[in-house]
């Protein structure tokens, strides 16, 4: 039996609640695992990248992701051995939390399956009104701090608790290392296969933890040279502006067919800013050959006689 202990209640949790909780925790994890594996495998297969089989192996999938990146940058530097180093660290960081959970909670699961009584709740003191109730009914009481009360499944509980505390801190450090591994891998991978959405996909993968969904979406993409992609975008945007504003559609420039000899070059069909035809010879008012400047004088009445 499983009980939840609050400040004023000692409530029995029905067995089917436990089953449903396990299902809702396990099914999403399996679904994300399958999506990530298919995404990485298909992406590696479509781009002839070695190591695609690792996409289906827990923890080792990070190796396939690194190989898909081609070269992973870490703090601005690229090393050929980074995929192997990342894979080793990532595997250790994945196994130790499982080891911690097994050592801490496996005896509790076994005790529950054998029909024992388990309660979860805040730390209790002898002055608590629920203390005697819990003491009389509970087999194992697990505090929210993770410590056991009234019962401990280990022969030397003090030593085991100390070992678990050390393991907990090691796991916390490795979980931080995992972040430093995943972030560059995610962004490098998306820059290579979907550069136009790399930032968005990377942020969603890091902050919402939906990398499996993102990589499944791009499973059929082909690799792109990110630097060349950015160069083309730069040339398309700034080069197009230069051609239009400085060179004109007809090969003009600032001083000949551009702002001084036809406003904006060919963009205004060779006319200057005042609507006159551009001469294209660098003259500010666009005077054509054989035409006197005074013919275009807009204020002839003020001309000196």
CA–CA separation, 82 and 63 (whole Å): 9
Return the bridge partners of 12, or none.
Answer: 3
Token reading at 197: 């959405």
pTM value > 0.85: no
CB 200, CB 207: distance < 8 Å = no
- What's the confidence (pLDDT) of residue 209? 92
State the DSSP string of 171-238. Answer: HHHHHHHHHHHHHHHHHHHHHHH-GGGHHHHHHHHHHS--HHHHHHHTTT-----HHHHHHHHHIIII
Q: Which helix (H) or strand (E) holds 167?
A: helix 157-193
- What's the confidence (pLDDT) of residue 163? 84
* Helix axes 157-193 and 198-207, enclosed angle (nearest 10): 170
Nearest CA to 229 among 200, 202, 201, 190? 190
Strands 2-5 and 148-149: unpaired
**Which bin fits 59, alpha (ψ -120 to 50), beta or left (φ > 0)?**
left
Residues 6+ apart with CB under 8 A from 255: 261, 282
Give the residues of the chain that fall short of pLDDT 70.
1-15, 73-77, 79, 111, 116-157, 240-305
- State how far the alpha carbon of 61 is from the alpha carbons of 57, 83, 170, 285, in Å: 6, 11, 22, 68
CB 257, CB 281: distance < 8 Å = no
Say whether 145 sits in a helix, a strand or coil: coil
- What's the confidence (pLDDT) of residue 290? 55
Return the bridge partners of 121, or none.
Answer: 5, 143
Token reading at 241: 């502006």
CA–CA separation, 280 and 16 (whole Å): 86
Token reading at 9: 């209640």
Residues 6+ apart with CB under 8 A from 188: 69, 70, 71, 72, 73
What are the residue boundaries of the structural domains of the chain, listed by start?
A: 2-224, 229-287
- What's the confidence (pLDDT) of residue 128? 56
Four-residue CA torsion sign, 233, 235, 236, 242:
positive
Q: Which helix (H) or strand (E) holds 5?
A: strand 2-5
- What's the confidence (pLDDT) of residue 11? 59
- How many CB atoms are located within 10 Å of the residue 57 CB? 13
CA–CA separation, 289 and 283 (whole Å): 11
């Amino acid at each position: 039996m499983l009980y939840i202990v609050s400040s004023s209640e000692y409530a029995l949790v029905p067995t089917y609640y436990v089953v449903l909780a396990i299902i809702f925790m396990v099914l999403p994890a399996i679904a994300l695992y399958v999506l990530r594996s298919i995404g990485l495998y298909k992406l590696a297969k479509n781009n002839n990248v070695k190591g695609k089989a690792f996409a289906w192996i827990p923890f080792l999938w990070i190796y396939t992701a690194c190989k898909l990146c081609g070269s992973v940058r870490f703090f601005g530097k690229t090393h050929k051995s980074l995929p192997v180093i990342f894979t080793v660290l990532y595997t250790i960081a994945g196994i130790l939390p499982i080891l911690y959970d097994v050592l801490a909670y496996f005896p509790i699961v076994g005790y529950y399956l054998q029909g024992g009584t388990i309660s979860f709740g805040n730390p209790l003191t002898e002055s608590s009104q629920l203390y005697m109730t819990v003491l009389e009914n509970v087999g194992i009481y697990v505090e929210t701090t993770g410590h056991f009360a009234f019962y401990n499944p280990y022969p030397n509980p003090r030593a085991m608790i100390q070992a678990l505390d050390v393991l907990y801190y090691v796991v916390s450090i490795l979980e931080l290392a995992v972040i430093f591994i995943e972030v560059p891998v995610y962004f490098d991978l998306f820059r290579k296969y979907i550069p136009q959405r790399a930032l968005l996909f990377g942020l969603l993968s890091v902050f919402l933890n939906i990398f499996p969904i993102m990589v499944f979406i791009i499973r059929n993409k082909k690799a792109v040279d990110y630097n060349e992609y950015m160069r083309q975008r730069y040339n398309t945007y700034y080069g197009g502006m230069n051609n239009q504003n400085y060179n004109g559609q007809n090969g003009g420039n600032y001083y000949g067919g551009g702002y001084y000899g036809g406003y904006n070059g060919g963009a205004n069909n060779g006319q200057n800013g005042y609507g006159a035809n551009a001469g294209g010879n660098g003259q500010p008012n666009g005077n054509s050959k054989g035409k006197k400047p005074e013919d275009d004088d807009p204020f002839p009445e003020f001309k000196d006689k």
